[in-house]
């Protein structure tokens, strides 16, 4: 009996090692981006998507940015009748969710880390779709340190007062975020996810790019263009997609321009300029209905015409990524 048992243990260990070595991203993954302003702007620069498309041209990854300025783990305000997280993620068929939270929340100070962890864990559970999605959590970047970064009106004096000790405070929040990941520390006293959920999570540490903070930020808080380029490199290296960063990659610029064109189409589809007329509280307005037949609404159908345009751009991205990877 001992030999068969030993064989079973060896087989289980080998299977576990094989799974551990598997790439986190899978072919045909649909990747949702959620978070605050930095995640919104990530699609406006397009570096992250460009790097991944170039590094994994045969994966045919699809990106849908659901982030919104001002979102925190505690609250994500949306217009009346806007789809819930569960509805939105199911509609796009998301298999991976890239999250970035913690920057604004860290201003609450170390005393609220437990509250932050609980709220983040609850949000991840909502996003998970009963365990069918994987997660990549990007930590926030440290706020830039400068005694004269703000004008000295009352609002900015108050803000600077709140930012005193921000680095130490954020360090605690980053540690709490890292605790959610498969290889992260178990932080005593903080809420945690179970082992099965943690196994679906990877953490990318974007806290420090090894350069002066103000060089990668446009307002001492949010990343500038260089910051987003560095974030894309850090993301790909940490996830094992590439071995070395490729900060200077002018040959990828045509690919990035295609990504930006696709992202603009997605933004116009997702962030409809007049949601109230689409599905909100003004759907009965005459201008929201067909002038020939008021019982019909033209706006919802017109919005869906964006989808084939987005898909066409994605095919162009796939084709160019494959061509560039052969060089």
Taking the C-alpha atoms of residue 106 and residue 172, their distance in angstroms, rounded to an integer, is 8
pTM: 0.86
207 near 148, Cβ under 8 Å? no
What pLDDT score was predicted for residue 3? 45
Q: Which domains does the chain have, with CATH numbers?
A: 24-252 (3.40.50.1110)
Dihedral sign of CA atoms 248, 36, 175, 147 in order? positive
128 near 35, Cβ under 8 Å? no
For the CA atoms of 80, 83, 84, 85, what is the dihedral angle to 10 degrees?
-130
92 near 30, Cβ under 8 Å? yes
Average pLDDT score over the chain:
86
Percent of the chain with pLDDT over 70: 84
33-78 pLDDT, tens digit each: 999 999 999 999 999 999 999 999 999 999 999 999 999 999 999 9
259-296 pLDDT, tens digit each: 999 999 999 999 998 899 899 988 888 888 888 888 88
The full length of the chain comes to: 327
218 compared with 137, residue with greater pLDDT: 137
Query: CA nearest 61: which of 88, 33, 41?
Result: 33
């Amino acid at each position: 009996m001992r030999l068969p048992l030993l064989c079973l243990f060896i087989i289980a260990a080998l299977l576990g090692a094989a799974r551990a070595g598997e790439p986190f991203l899978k072919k045909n993954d649909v990747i949702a981006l959620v978070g605050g302003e930095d995640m919104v702007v990530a699609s406006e620069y397009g570096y992250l998507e460009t790097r991944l498309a170039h590094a994994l041209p045969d994966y045919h990854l699809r990106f849908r940015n659901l982030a919104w300025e001002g979102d925190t783990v505690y609250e994500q305000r949306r217009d009346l009748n806007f789809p819930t997280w569960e509805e939105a993620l199911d509609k796009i068929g998301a298999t991976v969710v890239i999250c970035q939270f913690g920057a604004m929340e860290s201003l609450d100070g170390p005393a609220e880390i437990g509250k932050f962890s609980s709220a983040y864990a609850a949000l991840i559970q909502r996003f998970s779709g009963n365990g069918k999605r994987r997660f990549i959590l990007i930590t926030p970047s440290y706020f830039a340190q400068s005694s004269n970064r703000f004008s000295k009106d009352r609002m900015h004096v108050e803000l600077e007062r709140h930012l005193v000790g921000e680095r130490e405070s954020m360090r605690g929040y980053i540690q709490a975020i890292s605790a959610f990941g498969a290889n992260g520390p178990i932080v005593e006293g903080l809420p945690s996810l179970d082992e099965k959920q943690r196994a679906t999570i990877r953490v990318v540490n974007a806290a420090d790019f090894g350069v002066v903070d103000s060089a990668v930020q446009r307002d001492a808080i949010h990343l500038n263009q260089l910051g987003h380029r560095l974030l894309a490199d850090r993301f790909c290296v940490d996830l094992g997609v590439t071995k070395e960063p490729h900060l200077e990659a002018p040959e990828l610029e045509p690919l990035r321009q295609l990504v930006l064109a696709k992202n603009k189409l997605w933004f116009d589809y997702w962030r409809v300029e007049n949601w109230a007329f689409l599905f909100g509280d003004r759907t009965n307005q005459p201008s929201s209905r067909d002038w020939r037949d008021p019982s019909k609404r033209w706006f919802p159908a017109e919005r869906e015409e964006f989808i084939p345009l987005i898909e066409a751009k994605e095919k162009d991205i796939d084709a160019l990524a494959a061509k560039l990877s052969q060089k």
